[in-house]
């Protein structure tokens, strides 16, 4: 039976083979003993329970009285009947062994500052969106996503990222990972499962491709970005798609050079190949004009992937694919059979936020926030003996020569954009493993460059430092820990 009407939701099986009263008593005892009726839970009135079970009120009253006498229930005048607060329930299952303690200071990359989520603006957008939504919005929807959001995204991506987007060629996904899964599954079904992925790059994304039946080949990255000039040659001769982060390569932070962009598009057109453009932090440029998306120069060769994970928060599970015309139908079919469609309420709220320019205000606000954090990080590193380069020119005009700046213990790169910096350790100095071990001893978590390589053990050694994750009150202390570690390990 369903007791929702009485404040309790409990399935109760009655076995009346030995009598209705005895069956009810036994069912209630079992529910209390198993923990499904917790101590002090109020039971329905005898009249209401009798009506629900098809029993006489006298039978229910007698069962209650018997359980009160046995100590299972407590009857209180004016308050009804409830489970005895002293009655023990089934023992809780054994707790799993404790995992590793979280770090005291967390400077790992990959997450935004969750304290920047625009709670008030999101609530207002949700209220407006729900007030205007038709009843059909609460049903099963288009696998591509709500037309309100796809239309809003088409306008925003065009003016903010230089993307040529038609609403009919946009598919809303639950994140970048799902977008990658959809694209790999389509390539696999076409019999073209070989993908080139940047080296170094996020290892988890490589594993996503492999789990979908794809084959991953390393695409080297240097100071000018991914070596797109190698695509279609040698070991990369049979590649059907290349997955890149052109605006701000992860983790090196370099921007794909113009000649590399042109080589990429030539390869895609000549080989009928696909470019998967991961624009994970394209809105966050600090010291120069934003670099437009590659998709804007070749919309029929590029599948553009954007996400709200960094501008708003990963919890929203909202991302988007802008597809070449030939991929719309197969990707929509794959989406339909994967999860039918993404959740709707968040889509409507985000659409409202974009149309009312609340999203633009949020992007500007967090861009200023992260720039201040970046500047604080660079100030601490500079004081600790480092030098930092922004697209080849250090802040203040100091040019970086070679792999180590003059007088510096290490070089910090990739800081003109994004939410992380790459701290390159000097040749002949401490290894990455030694620095990370010292950081762990001081309660500091950092990202590892070596773990992002397709084959660990390469050079240079380095640390990937995220400056978005710690909450504002903890950020200065996290930077203090970082400078202590670097001073200790790179004397």
Give all strands (DSSP E) within 314-410, no chain letters.
319-322, 387-390, 393-394
Query: CA 232, 279, 307 angle in degrees (round to 5)?
Result: 135
**If we measure between CA atoms, which residue out of 464, 460, 389 comes closest to residue 429?**
460
| Domain(s) of CATH 1.10.10.10: residues in the chain | 4-83
**Secondary structure of residue 286 in the 3-state scheme:** coil
Q: What sign for the dihedral angle of Cα 443, 421, 261, 326? A: positive
Contact residues for 368 (Cβ-Cβ < 8 A; gap 6+): none
pLDDT of residue 7: 47
Cα–Cα dist 190/330, whole Å: 10
Cα–Cα dist 489/434, whole Å: 8
User: pLDDT band at residue 478, thresholds of 50, 70 and 90?
Assistant: very high
Please provide residue 127's backbone torsions phi and psi, each rounded to the nearest 5 degrees. Answer: -60, -45
pLDDT of 395 above 50:
no
What is the rounded end-to-end Cα distance, in angstroms, of the chain?
A: 72
Cα–Cα dist 228/357, whole Å: 36
pLDDT of 76 above 80:
yes
pLDDT of residue 241: 98
CATH classification code of 4-83 = 1.10.10.10
**What pTM did the predictor assign?**
0.86
State percent of the chain over pLDDT 70: 91
| Domain(s) of CATH 3.90.1150.10: residues in the chain | 362-489
Cα–Cα dist 269/240, whole Å: 11
pLDDT of 319 above 80:
yes
Peptide bond into 460 cis (omega under 30): yes
- Whether the CB-CB separation of 486 and 384 falls below 8 Å is answered with yes
pLDDT of residue 3: 45
Assign domain 117-360 one CATH number from 3.40.50.170, 3.40.50.740, 3.40.640.10, 1.20.210.10. Answer: 3.40.640.10
| Domain(s) of CATH 3.40.640.10: residues in the chain | 117-360
User: What average pLDDT does range 407-411 have in this prediction?
Assistant: 63
Instruction: Tokens for 137, please give them.
Output: 């919005």
Radius of gyration of the chain (CA): 29
Q: What is the DSSP string of 384-417?
A: TT-EEEETTEEGGGPBP-TTS-TT-S-EEE-TTB
CATH architecture of 362-489: Alpha-Beta Complex (3.90)
**If we measure between CA atoms, which residue out of 398, 442, 449 comes closest to residue 423?**
449
User: What average pLDDT does range 116-122 have in this prediction?
Assistant: 98
pLDDT of 298 above 60:
yes
**Secondary structure of residue 303 in the 3-state scheme:** strand
Instruction: Tokens for 447, please give them.
Output: 């990202």
pLDDT of 89 above 70:
no
Please provide residue 35's backbone torsions phi and psi, each rounded to the nearest 5 degrees. Answer: 90, 0
pLDDT tens for each residue of 173-206: 999 999 999 999 999 999 999 999 999 999 999 9
Residues 396-426 as b or e (16 or more Cβ within 10 Å = b): eebebeeebbeebbbbbbbbbbbbbbbbbbb
């Amino acid at each position: 039976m369903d007791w929702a009407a009485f404040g309790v939701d409990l399935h109760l099986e009655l076995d009346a083979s030995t009598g209705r009263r005895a069956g009810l008593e036994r069912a209630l005892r079992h529910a209390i003993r198993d923990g499904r009726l917790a101590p002090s839970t109020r039971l329905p009135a005898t009249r209401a329970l009798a009506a629900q079970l098809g029993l006489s009120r006298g039978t229910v009253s007698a069962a209650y009285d018997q359980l009160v006498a046995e100590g299972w229930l407590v009857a209180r005048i004016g308050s009804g009947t409830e489970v005895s607060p002293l009655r023990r329930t089934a023992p809780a299952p054994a707790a799993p062994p404790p995992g590793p303690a979280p770090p005291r200071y967390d400077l790992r990359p990959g997450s935004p500052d969750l304290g920047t989520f625009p709670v008030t603006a999101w609530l207002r957008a949700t209220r407006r969106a729900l007030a205007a939504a038709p009843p059909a919005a609460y049903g099963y929807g288009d696998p591509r996503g709500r037309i309100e959001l796809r239309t809003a995204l088409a306008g925003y991506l065009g003016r903010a990222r230089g993307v040529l987007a038609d609403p009919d060629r946009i598919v809303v996904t639950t994140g970048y990972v799902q977008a990658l899964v959809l694209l790999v599954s389509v390539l696999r079904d076409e019999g073209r499962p070989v993908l080139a992925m940047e080296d170094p790059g996020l290892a988890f994304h490589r594993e996503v491709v492999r789990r979908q039946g794809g084959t991953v080949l390393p695409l080297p990255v240097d100071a000018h970005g991914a070596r797109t000039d190698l695509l279609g040659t040698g070991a990369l001769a049979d590649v059907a798609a290349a997955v890149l982060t052109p605006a701000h390569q992860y983790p090196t932070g370099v921007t794909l050079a113009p000649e590399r962009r042109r080589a990429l598009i030539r390869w895609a057109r000549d080989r009928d190949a696909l470019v998967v453009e991961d624009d994970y932090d394209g809105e966050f440029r600090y010291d120069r004009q934003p670099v437009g998306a590659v998709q804007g120069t070749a919309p029929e060769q590029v599948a553009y992937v954007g996400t709200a994970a960094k501008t708003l928060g990963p919890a929203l599970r909202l991302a988007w694919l802008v597809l070449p015309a030939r991929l719309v139908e197969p990707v929509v079919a794959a989406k339909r059979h994967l999860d039918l469609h993404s959740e709707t309420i968040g889509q409507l709220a985000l659409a409202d936020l974009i149309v009312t320019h609340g999203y633009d205000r949020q992007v500007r606000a967090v861009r200023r926030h992260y720039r201040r954090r970046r500047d604080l990080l660079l100030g601490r590193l500079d004081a600790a003996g480092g030098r930092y380069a922004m697209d080849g020119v250090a802040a203040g005009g100091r040019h970086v020569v070679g792999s180590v700046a003059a007088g510096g213990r290490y070089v910090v790169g990739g800081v003109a954009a994004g939410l992380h910096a790459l701290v390159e350790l000097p040749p002949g100095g401490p290894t990455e493993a030694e620095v990370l071990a010292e950081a762990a001893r001081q309660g500091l978590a950092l990202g590892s460059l070596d773990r992002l390589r397709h084959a660990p053990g390469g050079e240079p050694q380095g640390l990937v430092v995220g400056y978005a994750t710690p909450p504002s009150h903890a950020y200065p202390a996290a930077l203090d820990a970082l400078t202590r570690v670097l001073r200790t390990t790179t004397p």
